[in-house]
Amino acid sequence: MITIIFVIGCGSAFADKTKTTVENVLGGYIKALGGRTALETLSIRICEGRFIDDRPYRGPVSDTPCLVRAKAGRACEVVMNGNARVEGSSITGERHKLSWLLDPQGPLTLTSDFPNLRYEGNVLVDGKSAHKLVSDRDPDHYALYFDVASGLLVRIGHYLTIGDYHEVDGVMVPHRITNSRKGGSNTWMFERIHHE
């Protein structure tokens, strides 16, 4: 026996619920970081630490001192081994995700960087409940996962993990960003972060 249930006239109610849920998740994230006003006052973030490249097919693990200077608006300069490179402003690509994550005002651009966000429910991320938001971008690389308990962004896609948040100048900043891939991973570990 098959039971068919018809729901009439509720389409907009479901759409409104989804929109409210996305707004609640994003609002909770901004609040967890320290609030819109606190983020808007920041313009340059300096991150000092290490870049750990653990990809066995490339040889032994490398642990390289690094300095990242991120400006609001996505300009990001990375210095390793005395060599500097500037990362682009687009969210696409692994390096550009670093620029976006460290941009002191990056969280305020979520809805423009991830178009048409939709709430897909709660999922487990590293054993913890997280809200999953997807956009028009490939979810394998761009789905957003926010920890239910803290409200903080803990993963982008299947491969980029964000964690070890600490308060710096009144806002929460991730001190560990790991990009996993088949055959290994690389991790940015920041020991000192400040704003100019």
Give the per-residue pLDDT at 178: 94
* Burial class of 95 by CB neighbour count within 10 A (0 to 12, 13 to 18, 19+): middle
11 has pLDDT over 70:
no
Confidence of residue 164 (pLDDT cuts 50, 70, 90): very high
| pLDDT, mean over the chain | 85
- pLDDT tens-digit series, residues 169-191: 999 999 999 998 777 888 999 99
The CATH architecture of the domain made up of 11-195 is Clam (2.50)
Domain boundaries, the chain: 11-195
Residue 182: φ, ψ to 5°: -60, 125
pLDDT of residue 91: 54
User: In the chain, which residue ranges form alpha helices assigned H by DSSP?
Assistant: 11-33, 36-40, 94-102, 110-113, 139-142
- pLDDT tens digits for 49-103? 999 988 766 667 788 999 999 999 877 889 988 888 776 555 554 457 888 899 9
Q: What percent of the chain has pLDDT over 70?
A: 83
Report the C-alpha gap between 91 and 74 in whole angstroms.
Answer: 9
pLDDT number for residue 20:
56
Query: pTM to 2 decimals?
Result: 0.83
pLDDT band at 15, cuts 50/70/90? very low
- Does residue 126 register a pLDDT over 60? yes
